[in-house]
């Protein structure tokens, strides 16, 4: 029987409840879901990639078919190496669409055998992003309900 592995790639700096909502939806649809954290040496992330992975592993523990890994280089190369058939991405609002479409079509050109699947997180998270969460914490705002509590603790520890 065919087993579908989907890769859910991203920066996850840090993982938010919006990401988790998508992971939960993806884990229901696909046989296996691999959350792939980009190690981007050019960007200046708040959390080192090892810490982002650690947080993701902890918060995805409830889903036995979800795994977490690090990748660098081209996503489609990594997806091929892992024998993934699907790239999963979330679309929150129409503003995400243009960039996501561009990325999906470029990935399709590079690797026609891998399909990008878009899912929508709950509308409760349609305004949520890792960037805004970091800004909120930096400025002393509340982030309850936006990130898992272990992430909030680490965010506060970083900022203080
Ligand atoms: O969470 P993000 O920052 O929106 O995730 C973007 C990500 C990691 C999915 C994208 O930057 C990516 O796939 N980078 C890997 C390099 C690559 O394959 N680039 C070509 C994409 S068309």
Active site residue 130: yes
pLDDT of residue 43: 77
pLDDT of residue 157: 93
pLDDT of residue 25: 98
List of the chain residues with pLDDT < 70? 160
Structure tokens at 143: 């982030």
Distance, CA of 60 to CA of 55 (rounded, Å): 9
pLDDT of residue 35: 98
pLDDT of residue 160: 66
Q: Which atom of ligand 1 is nearest to the CA of 107?
A: 22
Of 95, 103, 117, the residue with max ligand 1 atoms within 8 A of its CB, to mutate for a pocket test, comes to 103
Structure tokens at 35: 């959350």
pLDDT in tens, 54-75: 999 999 999 999 999 999 999 9
Distance of CA 158 to the CA centre of its chain: 21
Of 19, 40, 71, 74, the residue with max ligand 1 atoms within 8 A of its CB, to mutate for a pocket test, comes to 74
Q: By alpha-carbon position, which residue is closest to atom 12 of ligand 1?
A: 75
Q: Which atom of ligand 1 is nearest to the CA of 38?
A: 8
Structure tokens at 104: 């999906």
């Amino acid at each position: 029987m065919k087993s579908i592995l989907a890769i859910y790639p991203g920066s996850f700096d840090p993982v938010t409840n919006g990401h988790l909502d998508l992971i939960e939806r993806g884990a229901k649809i696909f046989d296996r879901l691999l959350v792939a954290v980009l190690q981007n040496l050019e960007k200046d992330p708040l959390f080192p990639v090892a810490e982002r992975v650690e947080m993701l592993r902890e918060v995805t523990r409830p889903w036995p078919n979800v795994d977490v890994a690090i990748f660098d280089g081209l996503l489609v190369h990594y997806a091929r190496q892992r024998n993934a058939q699907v790239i999963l991405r979330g679309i929150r609002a129409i503003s995400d669409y243009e960039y996501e479409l561009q990325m999906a079509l470029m990935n399709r050109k590079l690797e026609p055998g891998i399909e990008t699947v878009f899912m929508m997180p709950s509308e409760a998270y349609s305004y949520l992003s890792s960037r805004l969460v970091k800004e909120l914490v930096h400025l002393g705002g509340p982030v309850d309900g936006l990130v898992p509590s272990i992430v909030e603790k680490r965010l506060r520890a970083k900022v203080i």
